[in-house]
Amino acid sequence: MSYPITTIILAAGKGTRMPSKNPKALQTVLGEAMLSHVYSVAQSISDTIWTVVGYKADMITDYLAKNHGEKALQHTILQEKQLGTGHAVQCAMQKINENTTNNAEKILILNADVPLISTEILTDFITKSEKYPLSFISLYLPDAKSYGRVARQGFVDKAKNTPCTAHEDNKGNVAKIIEAKDFKVQYPNSAIYEVNSGIYLVDAQILNEFLPLLSSQNANNEYYITDIIGLAKDKNIPLEAFCFENAEALLGVNNPLELYEAEKTLQQTINTKLMSNGVVLHNPESIRISPFVEIAAGVEIFGPCEIYGKSKIEQYTTIESHCVIKNTQIGEACTIKSFCHFEDAIVGNNAKLGPYARLRPQAELSDNVHLGNFVEIKKSKIGNASKVNHLSYIGDSIVGSDVNVGAGCITCNYDGRNKFQTIIEDNAFLGSNCAFVAPVTIGKNTLVAAGSVITKDTPENTLAIARQRQTNLKKR
Ligand code: UD1
Ligand code: CA
């Protein structure tokens, strides 16, 4: 950007039109909170991002800290009572003014419920807005729904006398934004199809001048940020609404239907881009991939399937249907069979995993690892070419290379109070149905007899048997 921009994201609202245990900003679109979509785009064009939180503020601040880091957490602003978007910006400016002396600063205001917004649109808008102290993005909608109507002077003059419809030729001279409910009261028989996207670029100085003048005398009894347009216009401040054609990317998400529509649009955009880059998607309508995922050309994915977060999949890997993969890196030429669940894990090259394998956080598989059905790996490293093929739990463990873990082996890592580590060294062969009571180490080349409960370390090259000898008694 040619000049520094401070962004304010408004995320304090409850989302009354979308009842949920989560605040609206945390509703997900393709597995990522709407706030994350907006935050990531804001990050690409702005150094400082302030997020206004209010309803269930703790949930949002926790989320920001976890997903966008300490800086995002430190730049949250509490709007204790949600008195409207204008009030939210008032709260933000109070804090921003405390942190800066530069009154010429440009402030970009974004709603958290516009998840399809793109860097391209914002960059274009910022370039167009350079010489205006106040501007915003508008869009044309055949159904203006609950959006604020952009009233240009021509409309205001005409509609005073006769009901009318504002047309495209009504360019320039923005007079004010009229919120949907107020519009219906003030102009019951008129229509405007140019609406406010809720994205504004404003000089800090203009906000500081006009925010104190906002009133809540309107149909919602709220302080509207949109009122600064009319107030600035009355003082002859140069302002403009830039009408963008890509309306889909600017739509607000206020209810479950709009959430569905936003998801569908984004899904189609992402999948089309992946396919044009050489990723093969079978049944793409049922494949949901978040925009933060990286997938190399030559990967093949069968739907239905979900891949979210900062997942990365290298070339020639195949992912069969019904897999859910979050924040997981998968190497080259792996085969991930159906019904696998991976989260916060790392998989090397040439792995064969599943069906029904589960990788939990901090599972790290080296190259050539095989995991079979109903195998769960948590916070463990599995070495090169090791196999855990059936019904096993490996937790808090380090497993060497060329280890064979027999069916039904369990690392007993938890004594009810604390967690302990199991180490299984290279080339060990663990018979079926063994329990390893941690902390415990199995030495290199050790053979553990089936059904053993191992409580003591075993030296290298031994045969460990820890079970009752079988007795065959004569039947009576
Ligand atoms: C808002 C605009 C409307 C515009 C539309 C675009 C106002 C008054 N209206 O309406 O002109 O067409 O967006 O999508 O601004 N929020 C707070 N604190 C509050 C109230 C809301 O932080 O006290 C946040 C919400 O969490 C949300 C954003 O502000 O992220 C917008 O609020 P919302 O209620 O969705 O506004 P709309 O009715 O959609
Ligand atoms: Ca909205």
pLDDT tens digits for range 311-342: 999 999 999 999 999 999 999 999 999 999 99
The residues near 312 (Cβ < 8 Å, ≥ 6 apart) are 293, 294, 295, 328, 329, 330
What's the N-to-C CA distance of the chain in angstroms? 91
Token couple for 297: 């050309």
Backbone angles phi, psi at 312, to 5 degrees: -140, 130
- The verdict on the CB of residue 146 being under 6 Å from ligand 1 is yes
Determine the Cα angle at 192 with ends 247 and 181, to 5°: 100
Half-sphere exposure of 331 (CA within 13 A, CB side): 14
Q: What angle do CA 26, 295, 399 make, to 5 degrees?
A: 90
Give the neighbor-by-neighbor strand order of the sheet with 422-424.
294-295, 312-313, 329-330, 346-347, 364-365, 381-382, 397-399, 422-424, 440-442
pLDDT of the residue at 166: 80
Q: What is the mean pLDDT of residues 69-95?
A: 97
CA distance 119 to 43: 9
| Separation of CA 148 and ligand 2 centre (Å) | 10
Confidence of residue 102 (pLDDT cuts 50, 70, 90): low
In the chain, the percentage of residues whose pLDDT exceeds 70 is 98
Measure 95 CA to ligand 1 centroid, in angstroms: 20
Contact indicator for 108, 126 with CB cutoff of 8 Å: yes
Q: Do residues 409 and 430 make contact, with C-beta atoms less than 8 angstroms apart?
A: yes
Q: Which ligand is nearest to the CA of 178?
A: 1
Average pLDDT score over residue span 87-103: 89
Average pLDDT over residues 93-105: 82
- pLDDT tens digits for range 139-161: 999 999 999 999 999 899 888 88
Residue 111 alpha carbon to ligand 1 centre in Å: 6
Which atom of ligand 1 approaches the CA of 83 most closely? 23
Ligand 1, atom 22, lies closest to the CA of: 12
Residue with token string 């894990």: 345
Nearest to 136 by CA among 393, 128, 302, 299: 128
The residues with which 448 forms a beta bridge, in sequence order, are 430, 464
Which residue's CA lies nearest to atom 20 of ligand 1?
84
pLDDT tens per residue, range 336-383: 999 999 999 999 999 999 999 999 999 999 999 999 999 999 999 999
Identify the pLDDT of residue 103. 60
- Asked if residues 422 and 439 have their Cβ atoms less than 8 Å apart, the reply is yes
Q: What is the pLDDT of residue 379?
A: 98
| Pocket lining: 214 vs ligand 1, CB cutoff 6 Å | no
Residue with tokens 């995002």: 72
Among protein residues, the one whose CA lies closest to atom 13 of ligand 1: 198
Give dist(CA 225, CA 223) in Å, integer. Answer: 7
Atom of ligand 1 nearest to the CA of 9: 30
Distance of CA 153 to the CA centre of its chain: 40
Question: Which atom of ligand 1 is nearest to 12's Cα?
Answer: 22
pLDDT tens for residues 227-270? 999 999 999 999 999 999 989 999 999 999 999 999 999 999 99
- Positive or negative, the CA dihedral 363, 26, 43, 253 is positive
Q: Which of 37, 322, 341, 390 is catalytic?
A: 390
β-strand partners of 108? 7, 201
Alpha-carbon distance 304 to 282, whole Å?
A: 9
Cα angle 128, 48, 327 (rounded to 5 degrees) comes to 105
**How confident is the model at residue 333, as a pLDDT?**
98
Q: 3-class SS at 155? A: helix
Half-sphere exposure at residue 325, Cβ-oriented, CA atoms within 13 angstroms = 35
Question: Are the C-beta atoms of residues 77 and 91 closer than 8 Å to each other?
Answer: yes
Pocket test for ligand 1, best of 52, 60, 111 (most atoms within 8 A of CB): 111
| 349 Cβ below 6 A of ligand 1 | no
Tokens of 423: 């180490």
Beta strands in 362-414 (DSSP E): 364-365, 370-373, 375-378, 381-382, 387-390, 393-395, 397-399, 404-405, 410-412
CA gap 137, 157 in Å, rounded? 23
Confidence (pLDDT) at 158: 87
Question: Do residues 138 and 201 touch, judged by C-beta distance below 8 A?
Answer: no
Span 94-109, mean pLDDT? 85
pLDDT at position 15, please? 86
Q: CB within 5 A of ion ligand 2: which residues?
A: 113, 252, 254
Question: pLDDT by residue (tens digit) across 410-464?
Answer: 999 999 999 999 999 999 999 999 999 999 999 999 999 999 999 999 999 999 9
CA-closest candidate to residue 252, choices 390, 111, 141: 111
pTM of the entire predicted model: 0.92
Q: Evaluate whether 414 touches 397 at the Cβ level (below 8 Å).
A: no
Going from the Cα of 27 to the center of ligand 1, the distance in angstroms, rounded, reads 15
pLDDT value at position 101? 67
On the question of pLDDT at 287 being above 90, the answer is yes
The chain-wide mean pLDDT, for the chain, equals: 95
- In percent, the amount of the chain with pLDDT more than 90 equals 91
CB 54 within 8 A of CB 80: yes
Q: Does the CB atom of residue 112 touch ligand 1 within 6 A? A: yes
Rounded-to-integer distance, Cα 443 and Cα 441, Å: 6
Is 341 noted as a catalytic residue in this protein?
A: no
Kindly give the distance from the C-alpha atom of residue 113 to the centroid of ligand 1, in angstroms, as a whole number: 8
CA of 30 to the centre of ligand 1 (A): 22
Q: In whole angstroms, give the CA distance from residue 308 to residue 294.
A: 10
Residue 111 pLDDT = 98
